[in-house]
Each structure stands twice: as C-alpha cells, then as structure tokens.
Amino acid sequence: MLLVDDEVEFASTLAERLQIRGFDAKAVFCAEEALDMVRSEPPDVVLLDLKMPGMSGVEVLKTIKKISPSCAVILLTGHGSEQCAAEWAADGAADYAIKPSEIETLVAKIDRANEKRPT
C-alpha cells in the first residue's frame, strides 16, 4: 500500500500507524516518485493527497488508474462535497477521506476499497 502526500511528517507517521495495524504501507512525498512506485511495484491501495505541488491530484489519480487499473485509490483532502465525490468516482477513485481522519475510519475505507478491487 502506498501513501502519497507532500507533508512528510503526516505521511510517514500515518504509514507507521498503518504498519502497526498490519498494512505494508510505504510513504512517498511527491507525485513522480509515486508513479514510479506504481509502475515498478503496483500496490493494492493508494492513499493520495489531492493538493500537492507539481501534477494535480486528479491527474495523478488518472495516471495511476491508467498504469494499474486494479489499483484502488483513496483520495485524501481537506474538504469534500457530494459534487467532488461524484467527479472523483468518475475519474476512478474508490473512496475519499477528509484530513484529519480517525485511523479507524481510514482502515475501514482501505479494507472496503481493497475488497471492491477488480481482480
């Protein structure tokens, strides 16, 4: 599982917490690195921050889905709305979560997304 967020402290800490919970979680801090990772070792689930410098989050989402369609992508955002959710789903997102989230909520979303993955 891949975590993509430019906030280093956030991504690394969350990765650690997910590891405690048994996920093979790795944190990367920019879109390029994330795409490289997806190409080389496609993860099952990706937690992707929308607001990052460089490529827009949505573009990264689309690229990931292109590279590895079976990848479930959960978007992380500061604020969401029903409209956005629909758009993101249309672009291939499996789910979205609002930062900061309870770890339990995140884990539930990850599990659900993983189950729904096309095999």
Partner 1 sequence: MKDLRMSFIGRIISSYTHEVKNYLAIIKETNGLMKDVVEIKKSRGLDEKQFLGFMGCIDEQVGRATAITDYLYRFAHRMEDDRVAVHINDLVDELVALMSRLAYRKRISFDKMLRGGLPTTILNPMLFHYLLFCLIEAKMLCLDKNGVISINTHFSDGYFCITLACEGGALQSSDTTKTSDTGEIGVVAKELGAVISDNGSETVIKVPAVAQVK
Partner 2 sequence: MLKDEGHNGLVQKILSCYRKLIHPAASSISTTSLSKDRDTSLKIRIFLLIGTLAGVPLMMIMILSYLSLQGAVKEDFNNQLRGNIESTRQSVEFFIDERISALRFLAAANSFGQLSDEKYLNDIFIKFKREFGELVDLGLIDSKGMQLSYSGPYSLQGKNYSNQDWFNEVAVRGVYVSEVFMGYRKIPHFAIAVKKELPERGTFCILRATIDMVTLNRYVSIVNLKSKDDAFIINQQGILQTQSRYHGNVLEKIAIEIPHPKEEVVLSEVRQNGSTPLIFGYTSIKKSPWILGMTVASTAQSKILDLLTRDMASVYLAVFLIFLGIIANIKISIGLVNWIREAEREREEAIAQTQHSGRLASIGRLGAGVAHEINNPLAIINEKAGLMKDILLMSKDAHIDKEKFIGLIQAIADSVTRCKTITQRLLGFARRMDVRHEEIDLNDTIREVIEFLDKEILYRNIRLETRLKEDLPRIISDKGQLQQVFLNIINNAIDAVEDGGQIMVSTELRNPDRIRVSINDNGQGIAKEKIKHIFEPFYTTKERGKGTGLGLSITYGIVDRLGGSIQVESEVGAGTTFHVELPIRAEAP
Torsions phi, psi for 71 (to 5 deg): -80, 130
Residue 70 or 101: the one with the smaller Cβ distance to partner 2 is 101
Which residues, numbered 25-54, are part of the site for partner 2 (CB under 8 A)? Answer: 51-54
Q: DSSP for 77-110, please give it.
A: ES---HHHHHHHHHHT--EEEESS--HHHHHHHH
Pull the structure tokens for residue 73. 């992508």
Applying CB under 8 A, does 79 fall inside the site for partner 1?
Answer: yes
Which residues, numbered 93-112, are part of the site for partner 1 (CB under 8 A)? Answer: 100
In the DSSP assignment, the letter for residue 67 is H
User: 29 contacts which partner out of partner 2, partner 1, none, CB within 5 to 8 A by kind?
Assistant: none
Interface ranges with partner 2 (CB under 8 A)? 7, 9-10, 13-14, 16-17, 20-21, 51-54, 78-79, 99-101, 103
